[in-house]
Amino acid sequence: MARSLRRLAALTVCLILLCSCGNSAPNPADVQFTAMDTFMHLTAYGDNAQAALARAQQTVMELEKSLSVTDPGSEVFAANNANGQPVSVHSATAELVRFSLSMSHRTGGAMDPTVYPLVRAWGFTTRQHRVPSQAELDRLLPLVGAEQVVLTEDTLTLSPGAMLDFGGVAKGWAGDRLAEALKQAGISSAILRLGGNIQTIGTKPDGSDWVVGIQDPDSENMLTRLSVRDCAVVTSGGYQRSFTENGQTYWHILDPSTGYPARTGLTSVTVVAPSGALCDALSTALFVMGPDKAAEHWREHRDFDAVLVREDGSVIITAGLEAGFSLMGGYGDREVTVLR
């Protein structure tokens, strides 16, 4: 009888000791707010995560202010309204301008930071949509192009009438700055949702990848999901902002060389890369380039991965995403092409 009791006790002690092996999921720190005209939801794990996120929110608000096209206090506003005069800028702004110009150069102008006059002509900035006349576009097109921007170490000069706008890279840029700041604060596991721009730091606390869904451009369902770590995921698509007039649909992603919405047979482009700014810029650029030029661009640079969805529903992915890639249930009939 004592023997039995001792055995039971031994068993119980073993089980209790095993319990100490179990790790309970740590509680995440979470913050939700509106900035850059979009809803942001940041989640981070670790000690001081809540404080780090509060500071991150501050950083985004400050960044938004300094890059604003409409806020009279921002350097961008000053440059846009200087009528050809040089404007002095902080190194942070200069860095972003330099990045945008380099992206414009790299993509052959498909992504262009000076398209603001065109975007404004279509009414996308005020949400009062209209179709501009060809004459109007002809008048505005000469104002567009990287050559309109001259940047020295600390001064920015725009040709009269040209305007800079970072709407196409601001969220990705913010994502990178936030990731830097959070990592410096000691955070090694976080996911930042800046609208549809996703930036991840490390992995989830249990070591597994973050699961990011890519939405089907034509419905509320998810087309596929990516398992990612330490990188950004950004999607650009005509469906994000568009209007219909006289049976024709016009969207906010314009071809900088024609002034019209880019129609290259794509409905959405998702780019995955370590840098959010790169993803943001490339997703727009690849959408404008179309599937063939986009494939060429990927083969030339190979510093990112992408998922392209065509108008007919078929999907193109770059080789880096091939392993483990699968479409969600209900999309089994879609054709998937892998670029190599």
Partner 1 sequence: MTPLQTSASVRRLTRLALLTAAALSIHLLEGLLPNPLPVPGAKLGLANVITLYALFTAGPGDTLLVLLARILLGSLFSGRGTTLFYSLAGGLLCFSVVWLLHRVLTRRQLWVAGVIGGICHNIGQIAVAIALTRTPALIVYLPWLILCGMGTGLFTGLCARFLLEKLPEKLKKW
Partner 2 sequence: MKTKHWILIFAAVALLCAVAIVLFPLPQQVASAADIYQNGILIRTVPLGQDARFTITAPNGGTNTVAVSGGRIRVEQATCPDGLCVNQGWSRTEGYPIVCLPHGLVIQPKGGDTPFDAVTN
Binding-site ranges for partner 1 (CB under 8 A): 1, 4-5, 7-9, 11-12, 15-16, 18-19, 22, 24
For partner 2, which residue of 100, 104, 107, 215 counts as binding (CB under 8 A)?
Answer: 215
Give the nearest distance from C-beta 158 to partner 2 in angstroms: 29
- Please give the single-letter amino acid code of residue 96: L
Taking CA atoms, 41 is separated from 30, 63, 90, 179, 211, in Å, by 7, 17, 28, 14, 15
User: Is 214 an interacting residue with respect to partner 2 (CB under 8 A)?
Assistant: yes
Give the nearest distance from C-beta 12 to partner 1 in angstroms: 4
Measured distance CA(84)–CA(146) in Å, rounded: 15
Taking CA atoms, 230 is separated from 120, 175, 187, 272, 339, in Å, by 35, 12, 12, 10, 23
**Residue indicated by tokens 């080789």:** 319
Q: What would the two tokens of residue 138 be?
A: 């002809």
User: Is 333 an interacting residue with respect to partner 2 (CB under 8 A)?
Assistant: no
Half-sphere exposure of 203 (CA within 13 A, CB side): 6
User: Is 12 an interacting residue with respect to partner 2 (CB under 8 A)?
Assistant: no
Give the nearest distance from C-beta 130 to partner 2 in angstroms: 15
User: Is 240 an interacting residue with respect to partner 2 (CB under 8 A)?
Assistant: yes
**Vertex 182: Cα angle to 323 and 228 (nearest 5):** 10
User: Is 235 an interacting residue with respect to partner 2 (CB under 8 A)?
Assistant: yes
240 binds, among partner 2, partner 1, none (CB under 5 to 8 A by kind): partner 2
User: Is 196 an interacting residue with respect to partner 2 (CB under 8 A)?
Assistant: yes
- Please say whether the beta carbons of 272 and 233 come within 8 A: yes
Give the nearest distance from C-beta 23 to partner 1 in angstroms: 8
Cα-Cα-Cα-Cα dihedral sign, residues 211, 290, 107, 142: negative
Give the nearest distance from C-beta 30 to partner 1 in angstroms: 16
Closest C-alpha among 176, 159, 181 to residue 58: 181
For partner 2, which residue of 8, 33, 142, 150 counts as binding (CB under 8 A)?
Answer: 33
User: Is 127 an interacting residue with respect to partner 2 (CB under 8 A)?
Assistant: yes
User: Is 267 an interacting residue with respect to partner 2 (CB under 8 A)?
Assistant: no
Measured distance CA(28)–CA(155) in Å, rounded: 42
Interacting residues toward partner 2 by CB under 8 A? 32-34, 37-39, 41, 43, 127, 191, 193, 196-198, 204, 210-215, 219-222, 225, 233-235, 237, 240-241, 270, 328-330
